Structure 1
Amino acid sequence: LAALVDELAAVRAEIAALHAREAIAYARALELVLSRVEERRLLEPDRPDSDLVVRSVSAEIGAALRISDRSVQRRFGEAGALVDHYPRVLDALQGGRIDRGHATAIVEAGMSVSCDSRGVYEARALEVAECESVPRTRAAVATLAAAIDPESAQTALSRARRDRRVRVYDLPDGMARVLADLPAPLAYAIADRLTGVSHAVIEARRSAPDVVPAPGAETECVPDDRTIDEVRADVLADLLLTGTPTGHGDPESLSGITGRVQVTVPVLTLAGVSEQPAVLAGYGSVDAGIVRALAARAPGWDRVLTDACSGLPVGVDRYRPSAEQRRYLAARDEHCRFPGCRMPAHRCDIDHTIDAAHGGPTDCRNLAHFCERHHVMKHHTAWTVRQLPGGILEWTSPLGRRYEDRPPPTVRFVPSGDPPPS
């Protein structure tokens, strides 16, 4: 197994190097296109249809590679930005230290970063990409970009919010798909509420006695064996069409289940003084205005005190304290702490790193959030974990390989100035 892991890692590095080579080739093709556009503009100033040059070259490349010319044009833009503006990211891709997904995430999030701040953003984003999975990198670099250039990020968020809409697509076999583009906090809250109501429906179904048809009944009672996805879809239709989850048990009890999201927002942003980004756990940077509206209706907020240099939470409190350790861990972890996993903390278990049965203390330095999948793996396989200073978890695989998982707040933290003197 160890040899196979090494082989896969080597193949991955080779593929990453080929992706870098491909990006360089696309960037060179883009240079050719731009030079031809300029030549045509000089030779035929009365014919500004430079788009025909782009279409022609894109069609030529697309035909040879058996992809659409629009895909070629999109790759022109991605490759040009990577090669021209992110040389260190390109070097990391060539060296196999990151994947193409990492590079794409950095380039896309960096579109809102000004030229003056691009170097700082690239260096910090690359630190994240070289030790995190692509989904975690995508969420972290989006927040980094928003923190480095909050004004541009807020403009992009406001522009995107104006594009919210609902669409219906026909599917075969009498089905159709409803897609809704919504602000992320609302979408995550909707999904969480649907899941909560659906779990309540399924639990009620399991605890209910078997239904026996009444004597002389014309129809036979069909047992409810729907999956969680089927129940979620049915509850969504109920809520949209009737306002309550009718037909799924007691509407009063189910309607009391609300959507739950975890949002971290700087206090000055909450006060409306700053536009520093708010962060939705499991997603990334979100619109500050929506978060302020949520805060106005929330029954309570945790105050998270962070280290000025590292960004790591050092304490959590509330005017009416309750479950302080849980609030602290939720602020620190945000999601499952196995490398690459992004299951939100409120759907995870809080686990003792050193089992309480073996003397492990119920202390935040011995606790962390794990989803059910990785919680079971920790206890029933050869994987082990230990906590290092700063909330870092060091996982050791059955092959003896070590992988560090850093708390999300430290991954996306951007210092506001020079660190204080030691």
Structure 2
Amino acid sequence: MLAAGDLVDEFAAGRVARAVADAAEIRLLDRAWAGVLTSPVANRDERRSAEIAQRSLVAEFATAVRVSEWTASRLLGEAHDLCRRFPAAVAALEEGRISRQHLAVIHDAGGSLLDDDARGAFVAAVLNRAVTLTPGLLKPVARILADRYAERPVDDRCAEAAAGRRVEVCDLPDGVSQLVFNGPATLVHGIDDRLTAQARQIIADREADATGHTVPDVDSAPPRDTRTLAQIRADLFTDLLLCGAPSPQLGDGLEAIRAVVQVTVPVLRMAGASDEPIVLAGYGPVDSETARRLAAGARGWERVMTCPTTGTPVAVDRYRPGKALQRFLRARDEGCRFPGCTRPVWRADLDHTIAAADGGPTTPGNLAHLCRRHHTLKHATAWTVHQQEAGVLVWTSPHGRRHTDIPRPTVRFEPDDDTLSRRSVFHEPWLFTPEDEDDTDRPEF
């Protein structure tokens, strides 16, 4: 029987083989679709003949693999677009450097880039990130990079997209229907966070009730709540829409829970001196009007100072007093620091990389956010982690595989000469210790 490490090697090799096979399929579909495309100068009869040929081809591909003609048509058209406009990304898939899911993220993010040079620069930049990120973590990075090369400003694109906001009902089998809401990302992420926070409060209250501390008369207590987190979120969503307020059942103070979203606004953008993107953590660029509205209602501002050449957060302060170190780490990490995890920082614990009991200091170079699942994994299994440098975590699996996790602001940062020159005029003395008083050795901000 193969050892676990050998099975992991075999699994990884299989994924590479699958990527190579996916690339071969994309190239095959491209050749098939290119053979039935109409010439731009074709006359009416030629266009009609090409249309019939396309329908026949779609039908044959669909019946060969038992998919709908709509699916076959989408696969053929998508493959042609990938090979025509994203050849470098298809080549990376063919080499096994990325997966089909990575390619889909790149295609979705860069699909609206019409200029060939801009799209090529975007693909080159995003591939550098894709080889080290999961598709889920690559998605917001790809959106930010695509925004840098977009022909239209993000405010115009967001306004146009928001104008198409809608709610739809999709009927499903067995007496179930699906309610689909398409709206601004900040609102959707806020709704999702608030539902989760309220659901977790209900679960915490019912667990306290189960200990007997809050329900002295067991005979008169209501039936025990056994709903899952997903079920409670759905019930809260229903209550809020139909009743205007959550039905707490076993939860107290649910109306006081507010949504949490993390939006980063570059100071030069606020001053009108830069077009750097405004970023919703875990999603990507959002429009400036949404950012202004969120800022107007914020209880306090956190100022994040970043290195002008790497984008790494180096310090955080705030105009209201608070826990400076925690604010810094929230800005740096944005989420759980296990490779591939997307859970946000407010759903994660601050963990000492080297345990405090073993002498580990409480400093940025020994702290990182871990969700409960990966916090447990670190302490209860043979997984280990060390910080190669402050904020750069190197995880080692039980079978010796090393995985490096870099802070997300650094991953998505791409230097821009004009922005760098503007940043060079900023000097922040409070960032430096007395030993850094010599201006000749001081980094430029």
Shared fold, TM over 0.5: yes
Find the aligned partners of 2:310 and 2:274 in 1 and give their Cα distance: 21
**Matched residues, number:** 413
Q: In the aligned structure 1, how far is the partner of 2:205 from the partner of 2:138? A: 39
Aligned equivalents of 1:68 and 1:170: distance in 2? 20
- The alpha-carbon distance between structure 1 residues 368 and 63, as it changes in their structure 2 partners (threshold 3 A), is same
Shift of 1:40: 8.9
Partners of 1:75 and 1:33 in 2: how far apart? Answer: 15
The residue that corresponds to 1:11 in the other structure is 14
Alpha carbons 1:151, 1:275 under 8 Å: kept = no
Judging changes above 3 Å, is the alpha-carbon distance between structure 1 residues 355 and 69 closer, same or farther for their aligned structure 2 residues?
A: same
- Give the aligned partner of residue 373 of structure 1: 373
**2:326 alignment partner AA:** R
1:298 counterpart = 2:298? yes
What is the CA–CA distance in structure 2 between the aligned matches of 1:150 and 1:328, rounded to whole Å?
A: 34
Question: Conserved in 2, the CA contact under 8 Å of 1:382 and 1:397?
Answer: yes
Which residue in the other structure is 1:222 paired with? 223
User: What do residues 381-417 of structure 1 show as CA deviations (whole Å, max 9, x unaligned)?
Assistant: 1111111236211111111111111111111112112
Specify the alignment match of 1:141 in structure 2: 142
Partner of 1:361: 361
Cα distance between partner residues in 1 of 2:341 and 2:251: 35
Unaligned runs of 5+ in 2: 425-442
Is 1:387 the counterpart of 2:393? The answer is no
Cα deviation per residue 1:97-117 (whole Å; 9 max; x = unaligned)?
111111121122112333232
**CA–CA distance in structure 2, aligned partners of residues 134 and 361 of structure 1:** 34
User: Are the equivalent residues in 1 in contact too, given 2:154–2:286 (CA < 8 A)?
Assistant: no
Are the counterparts in 1 of residues 365 and 387 from structure 2 also a CA contact under 8 Å?
yes
C-alpha distance in structure 2 between counterparts of 1:173 and 1:213, whole Å:
36
Change (3 A) 1:112 1:270: farther
8 Å CA contact 2:306–2:313 kept in 1: the answer is yes
The C-alpha deviation readout for 1:77-104, integer Å capped at 9, x for no partner, is 3222322222322222111111111112
**Alignment of 1:307 onto 2:307:** yes
Long gaps (5+) in structure 1:
215-219
Structure-1-length-normalised TM-score:
0.90
Structure 2 partner of 1:217: none
Deviates more, 1:312-321 or 1:170-179: 170-179
Distance 2:274 2:163 in 1: 22
Q: Distance in 2 between matches of 1:170 and 1:365?
A: 51
Q: What SS is found at the alignment partner of 1:224? A: coil
TM-score by length of 2: 0.85
Q: Is the 8 A contact 1:392 1:405 kept in 2?
A: yes
Q: Distance in 1 between matches of 2:126 and 2:76?
A: 22
Alignment of 1:138-287 (within 5 A): 138-149=139-150, 151=152, 153-205=154-206, 206-207=208-209, 208-213=214-219, 221-248=222-249, 253-270=253-270, 275-287=275-287
Tell me if the contact between 2:264 and 2:279 (Cα under 8 Å) persists in the aligned partners.
yes
Could you tell me how far 1:274 is from its partner in structure 2? 5.3
